[in-house]
């Protein structure tokens, strides 16, 4: 059946079309009930086969590591080495042992301090009965804490002004429920402590607390920004279309497309993530764009004397093919997100791909049925709207050479800004300063130590080999090398404990703070120390059960992703040269983020290239011109690069959003190019010259393109108000890109078409034609 026949059937059977459309949409929407709660677990943002996630899981299994939270205790004046502060820390330590699912609590007050008395090794907690400590006791505790590498920078800041407590928990199978129980308890304990010790500040950080804060941010985005964007788009449509009934149809379209897309996600078992919210903003924009193009054509037809049904039929005839193409190319662009090794972006891409085709289906069934049934009236167009784009088209034609040169120069300058962009990915900084968690992270980073760590598991080569002197010497050399690196703020390893034990068993002589002289001594010291530790304070978090590997923890200062990778490369090279057989890469969330942003950018460039190739091939077939197909690549590809360059000049740092913004932007901005080119090619087929065809395109789609771009930009700029930094970046970058793309479609694409599309026209010929049309030619 031909498109004309389909349109005729839809218009004859309007009520049936409406009923069947709503029935299908209702069936799809029912799937929304199968959607689980939004997944905010940072680790689930990466593929299960991500090599860095696999390495991190292996390290945590090896050393019985578990999820953890960090509590910073900061007296508002002075240091933590006062009776009141130490008493507060001691009480908090006891309270934290009551945390749901807790396995271990570490703090300065329960730190197992060792000392040698004669031939005996005495291990006891550093602080006991804090309220009755003498001044001499306080001085002794301060001296030990700040001079012990295991404590300074780990349980207390090096200036002694902030203490840190680490709460380790083993979450139950229902991790979401377990995390909620832990975070609720920790917030309650911190609030109670603030009430009792008003002169002390408390800050909660860590991966578990981050997940809770991210869930709050996602709920805010969904409950506030989504409705704001929805209402804003409807308001823009109302102002520009000047029709309440037209706005009502757009409202119905938005509801149907969003519900059916969410239902599709539910029926197919997708998991929603915080970043998935971007899919809804994109679909709202796509739906409004399709609706505006069709409604504008309907109202224009009615102004020209057609009845409502005839105007709807004519609008479908004009827009069926462009709307289908834009939906298809949008789907292809977003399907390229499956190349990313991040489930959130894969889910976003699949939802938008389905939703964009769903928006097309609704645009050619539900929308025309509604428009033909509702009492839609064709008001007068906005004052001077059509005249403006007619004049603007003449301006572009007259100044085509100047516009081409200036646009090219601006493009080169903006693209050059990409060299200034620095990739920065820190999952603990994914929230902005409006959230308490982010303020706590910034406080800890500035006043305690870094918030990101590298973890190494160094292999001794045999069971029980971690006490071999040769192995210990290589580990110690690696630790000392790391301490010399300017990017590092703290390093801790089993060798620090053994050097302290050797000093203890040599009369606490500081000169004996070295590794034991023999492997047997090292094994004896370690065994003696472990037997002296209280329950729950063993060394399983530093050495594995077989005693064949030990763990080295490195705390980093604030680094870009590139700097993190360079540091890991240097460390790997040091191990290769100085500790053969122990070569390994760092692991940890910091490593996952650093490598993943680089890996995803590479994957997404490939995905975008594939999508562009497919879309370009489609456009070649549609326009039946290799030249036109290649010309359209420029305004479709370069706007994303120009936006990224502008970001480099204005902001510099960008996170994981950079990996997907090109694919997202391409999936959107190609729509404007298709609508412009469709009208241009239509005019060329009628025998019009390139300059005349450009003017025809401006007169017919200039206003709809401006409206839809405003809608797209508005939606993403609202998304930029998110409390999640990746969403802010994605919203701003995509909003900038669609605006730049419209400028390119208006100021760069037309001059390119007039320059490269066959029939060449001289400046004099164009000026004479414009004069005959009643326009005053612009000066050369």
Q: In what order do the strands lie in the sheet with 452-459?
A: 452-459, 549-556, 488-492
Q: How confident is the model at residue 759 (pLDDT cuts 50, 70, 90)?
A: low
More reliable by pLDDT, 694 or 624: 694
Q: Tell me the HSE value of 277 on the side-chain side, using a 13 A CA sphere.
A: 34
SS3 269: coil
C-alpha to C-alpha distance for 612 and 583, rounded to whole angstroms: 41
Residues 447-459 have pLDDT tens digits of 887 778 899 999 9
Residues ≥6 apart with Cβ < 8 Å to 671: 286, 289, 326, 329, 330, 708
Quote the pLDDT of residue 484: 93
Quote the pLDDT of residue 776: 42
More reliable by pLDDT, 573 or 640: 573
Q: Going by DSSP bridges, is the β-strand pair 67-75/200-205 parallel, antiparallel, or unpaired?
A: antiparallel
Q: Going by DSSP bridges, is the β-strand pair 67-75/163-169 parallel, antiparallel, or unpaired?
A: antiparallel
pLDDT at 300 over 60: yes
In Å, how far are 225, 282, 289, 345, 666 from 229, measured between CA atoms?
6, 11, 14, 21, 21
Residues 361-379 have pLDDT tens digits of 999 899 999 988 888 877 6
Q: How confident is the model at residue 758 (pLDDT cuts 50, 70, 90)?
A: low
C-alpha to C-alpha distance for 655 and 726, rounded to whole angstroms: 7
Using a CB cutoff of 8 Å and minimum separation of 24, what contacts does 32-37 make?
Answer: 32/259, 32/262, 32/263, 32/265, 32/266, 33/266, 34/266, 34/267, 34/269, 35/262, 35/265, 35/266, 35/270, 35/272, 36/271, 36/272, 37/176
Interval 173-196 mean pLDDT? 90
Residues 331-359 have pLDDT tens digits of 988 888 888 778 888 888 899 999 999 99
Quote the pLDDT of residue 779: 37
Q: Mean pLDDT, the chain, as a whole number?
A: 85
Q: How confident is the model at residue 778 (pLDDT cuts 50, 70, 90)?
A: very low
Phi and psi angles of residue 123, each rounded to the nearest 5 degrees, phi first:
-120, 125
Quote the pLDDT of residue 780: 34
Residues ≥6 apart with Cβ < 8 Å to 674: 322, 325, 326, 329, 619
Residues 388-429 have pLDDT tens digits of 888 888 888 888 889 989 988 999 999 999 888 877 666 667
Residues 602-627 have pLDDT tens digits of 777 788 778 878 887 887 787 777 78
pLDDT at 88 over 80: yes
By percentage, how much of the chain surpasses pLDDT 90? Answer: 27
C-alpha to C-alpha distance for 257 and 237, rounded to whole angstroms: 17
C-alpha to C-alpha distance for 145 and 81, rounded to whole angstroms: 10
H helical segments located in 748-777: 749-756, 763-772
pLDDT at 254 over 90: yes
**Cβ–Cβ under 8 Å, residues 76 and 84:** no
Quote the pLDDT of residue 394: 86
For Cα atoms 733, 443, 85, give the angle at the middle one, nearest 5 degrees: 165
Quote the pLDDT of residue 769: 62
Residues paired with residue 115 on neighbouring β-strands, in sequence order: 122
Q: Which residue has the tokens 């404007």?
A: 672
Residues 697-738 have pLDDT tens digits of 898 888 888 888 887 788 778 877 887 887 888 888 888 888
Quote the pLDDT of residue 773: 61
Which tokens go with 613? 């190739």
Residues 521-574 have pLDDT tens digits of 999 988 888 888 887 778 888 899 899 999 999 988 878 778 888 999 999 999
Greatest C-alpha distance within the chain: 110
This prediction has a pTM of 0.80
Quote the pLDDT of residue 659: 65
Residues listed for the chain? 780
C-alpha to C-alpha distance for 64 and 71, rounded to whole angstroms: 21
Helix (H) or strand (E) holding 74: strand 67-75
C-alpha to C-alpha distance for 206 and 589, rounded to whole angstroms: 11
Residues 191-246 have pLDDT tens digits of 999 999 999 999 999 888 888 888 888 777 777 888 888 888 888 888 877 888 88
Interval 304-314 mean pLDDT? 86
By percentage, how much of the chain surpasses pLDDT 70? Answer: 93
**Cβ–Cβ under 8 Å, residues 338 and 607:** yes
SS3 392: helix
H helical segments located in 417-553: 436-447, 469-483, 494-504, 519-532
């Amino acid at each position: 059946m031909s498109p004309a026949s389909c349109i005729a059937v839809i218009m004859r059977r309007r009520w049936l079309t409406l009923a069947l459309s709503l029935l299908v949409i209702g069936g799809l929407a029912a799937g929304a009930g199968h959607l689980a709660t939004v997944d905010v677990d940072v680790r689930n943002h990466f593929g299960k086969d991500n090599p860095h996630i696999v390495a991190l899981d292996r390290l945590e299994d090896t050393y019985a590591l578990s999820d953890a939270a960090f509590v910073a205790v900061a007296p508002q004046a002075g240091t933590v080495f006062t009776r009141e502060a130490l008493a507060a820390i001691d009480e908090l330590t006891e309270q934290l042992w009551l945390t749901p699912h807790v396995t271990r609590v570490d703090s300065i007050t329960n730190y197992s301090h060792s000392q040698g008395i004669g031939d005996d090794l005495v291990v006891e907690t550093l602080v006991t009965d804090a309220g009755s400590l003498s001044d001499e006791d306080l001085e002794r505790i301060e001296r030990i804490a700040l001079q012990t590498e295991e404590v300074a920078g780990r349980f207390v800041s090096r200036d002694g002004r902030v203490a840190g407590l680490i709460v380790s928990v083993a979450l139950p199978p229902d991790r979401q429920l377990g995390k909620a129980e832990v975070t609720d308890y920790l917030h309650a304990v911190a609030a109670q402590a603030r009430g009792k010790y008003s002169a002390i500040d408390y800050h909660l950080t860590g991966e578990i607390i981050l997940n809770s804060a991210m869930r709050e941010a996602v709920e805010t985005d969904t409950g506030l920004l989504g409705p704001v964007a929805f209402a804003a788009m409807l308001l823009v449509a109302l102002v520009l279309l000047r029709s309440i009934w037209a706005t009502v149809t757009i409202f119905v379209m938005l509801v149907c497309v969003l519900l059916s897309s969410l239902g599709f996600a539910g029926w197919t078992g997708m998991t929603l993530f915080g970043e998935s919210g971007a899919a809804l903003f994109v679909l709202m924009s796509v739906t409004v764009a399709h609706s505006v193009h069709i409604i504008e054509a309907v109202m224009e037809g009615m102004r020209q004397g057609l009845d409502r049904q005839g105007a709807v039929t004519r609008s479908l005839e004009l827009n069926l093919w462009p709307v289908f193409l834009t939906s298809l190319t949008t789907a292809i662009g977003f399907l390229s997100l499956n190349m990313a090794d991040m489930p959130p972006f894969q889910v976003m891409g699949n939802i938008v791909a389905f939703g964009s085709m769903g928006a097309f289906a609704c645009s050619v069934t539900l929308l025309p049925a509604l428009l033909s049934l509702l009492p839609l009236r064709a008001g007068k167009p906005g004052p001077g709207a059509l005249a403006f784009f007619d004049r603007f088209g003449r301006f572009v034609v007259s100044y085509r050479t100047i516009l081409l040169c200036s646009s090219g120069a601006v493009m080169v300058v903006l693209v050059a800004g990409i060299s200034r962009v620095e990739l920065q990915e820190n999952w603990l900084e994914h929230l902005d300063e409006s959230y308490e968690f982010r303020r706590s992270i910034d406080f800890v980073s500035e006043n305690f130590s870094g918030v990101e760590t590298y973890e190494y598991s160094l292999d001794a080569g045999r069971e029980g080999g971690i006490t071999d002197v040769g192995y210990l010497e290589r580990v110690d050399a690696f630790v000392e090398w790391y301490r010399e690196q300017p990017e590092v703020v703290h390093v801790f390893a089993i060798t620090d404990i053994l050097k302290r034990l050797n000093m203890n068993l040599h009369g606490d002589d500081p000169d004996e703070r070295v590794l034991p002289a023999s492997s047997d001594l090292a094994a004896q010291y370690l065994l003696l120390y472990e037997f002296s530790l209280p329950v729950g304070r063993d060394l399983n978090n530093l050495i594995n059960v077989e005693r064949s590997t030990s763990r080295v923890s490195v705390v980093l200062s604030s680094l870009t992703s590139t700097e993190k990778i360079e540091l890991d490369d240097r460390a790997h090279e040091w191990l290769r040269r100085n500790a053969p057989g122990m070569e390994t890469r760092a692991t940890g969330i910091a490593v996952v983020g650093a490598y993943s942003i680089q890996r995803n950018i590479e994957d997404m460039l490939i995905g975008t290239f594939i999508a562009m190739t497919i879309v370009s091939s489609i456009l070649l077939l549609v326009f039946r011109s290799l030249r036109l197909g290649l010309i359209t690549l420029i305004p479709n590809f370069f706007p994303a690069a120009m936006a990224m360059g502008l970001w480099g000049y204005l902001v510099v740092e960008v996170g994981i959003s950079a990996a997907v913004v090109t694919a997202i932007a391409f999936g959107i901005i190609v729509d404007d190019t298709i609508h412009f080119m469709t009208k241009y090619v239509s005019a060329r087929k009628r025998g019009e010259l390139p300059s005349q065809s450009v003017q025809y395109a401006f007169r017919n789609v200039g206003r709809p393109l401006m409206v839809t771009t405003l809608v797209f930009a508005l939606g993403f700029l609202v998304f930029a108000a998110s409390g999640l930094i990746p969403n802010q970046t994605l919203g701003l970058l995509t909003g900038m890109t669609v605006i730049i793309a419209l400028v390119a479609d208006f100021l760069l694409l037309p001059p390119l078409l007039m320059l490269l599309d066959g029939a060449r026209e001289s400046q004099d010929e164009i000026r004479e034609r414009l004069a005959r049309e009643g326009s005053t030619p612009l000066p050369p």
